[in-house]
Amino acid sequence: MQASSLNPDYFDWTHHLYTQLRKQRREANITFSPSKEEAEACIKAFSLCPGYWRALHDMANLTEERIKTASYRTPQEYKKAEADLLEYLLQARTKAPHNITVALKCVDVLSAQNAGSQEEEESTNDKVIQILKKCEVDWPRNSQVYHKFGKFYLQVSLFDPFYPK
């Protein structure tokens, strides 16, 4: 394995460094923002393998945690971060259709970004339903998939009691 050489120019090593820093931070206090060192490790891993689904998923995790911990100060930064998060996840989804975590995180992000917005609501809902139906086929009788189905339909029914049409 390339990571065993402890070479910082290998993806596996920088990915391992990022995951360990993330784990330490989350164990200390889950509400802390990602550190500069953690962000640099994630960005370096991404720059070493920009098309690899794990790197894309890590960038999505980093962006999501920055959003959750209010690292972005202006509405423009926040909107850009949300768009980047969705882009990273959709790219990771196309690179790793076998990964249930990426698929369900796509559903979460699409659902959250769609909550309450009127523009492009139906196309987003259709994307979510398409991903969920694919998940149901790929992972039949999976409680995580059923849970996401339930959360999505509950959220949509709060805004539109007659959905699906």
Per-residue pLDDT, 73: 78
- For residues 40 and 45, give the distance between their C-alpha atoms in angstroms, rounded to a whole number: 8
Residue 2 has pLDDT above 50, yes or no: no
pLDDT tens digits, 58-100: 999 999 999 888 777 788 888 899 889 999 999 999 999 999 9
pLDDT tens digits, 27-42: 998 888 999 999 999 9
Higher pLDDT, 112 or 48: 48
Higher pLDDT, 160 or 64: 64
pLDDT, the chain, mean: 85
pTM across the whole model: 0.81
Nearest to 49 by CA among 97, 9, 1: 9
Contact 34, 62 (CB under 8 A): yes
Give DSSP secondary structure letters for 91-121. HHHHH-TT-HHHHHHHHHHHHHHHTT--TTH
